[in-house]
Amino acid sequence: MRIGVLGTGMVGQALSEKLSQSGHEVVIGTRDVDAALSRTDPPRPGLVSFAEWHGANPGIAVGTFAQAAAHGEILFNATAGNASIDALNAAGPDNLADKILIDVANPLDFSAGFPPTLTVANTDSLAEQLQRAFPQAKVVKTLNTINASVMVDPGAVNGGEHHVFVSGDDAGAKAEVTKHLRDWFGWRHVIDLGDITTARGTEMYLALWIRLLGPVGTSTFNVHIVR
């Protein structure tokens, strides 16, 4: 399948690499291709630069947001939440129309330092903002409650015995995304929370997720729903 991944950060890289290794034709999108490919400094200790990452994954094409969106039969929004609407406008509404847009971004605001706050909460969500801004896209919120490595390898936590969630207004799109979560990444437990407004809950969960980092001692964890 042709897949467009918008965003060249850690999440976009993890998704693109996994999907490419699984045989999909992936274009990873960025605002400025030359600038992205010239990044030779790691974004932070322990990570590689985008140039080094792309050198290790030459089968993944790098394009503009518009090129990635035009290429993809299914799209991932892996941009920073506070830049997502601008990035999707750059991708072009026509390139999003009638396509599933898997939104994995979170509306985190680091302007006052760490821990971040949310730019939107309680009565709205980033996913809802994207659906309103691009009504012809089929927005499905998922994968935003875990780190990038767990997104693509749920077996790394408790043998895969934990949950991921989907939210969206289009039942068919959610069913297709649920199938892809299982087939592409190995997720065994997927809970459909309901319409796009339920993304408020998963986005606001990030406030707890961030505060668990210290006590848990790792970002490689997740929640398992038991009853």
Tens of pLDDT along 80-109? 999 999 999 999 999 999 999 999 999 999
Give every CB contact of residue 66 below 8 A, 6+ residues apart in sequence. Answer: 29, 90, 91, 92, 95
The mean pLDDT of 118-132, rounded to a whole number, is: 98
Domains of the chain: 2-216 (3.40.50.720)
Q: Model pTM? A: 0.97
Per-residue pLDDT of 147-200, as tens digits, reads 999 999 999 999 999 999 999 999 999 999 999 999 999 999 999 999 999 999
Quick check: 47 pLDDT over 90? no
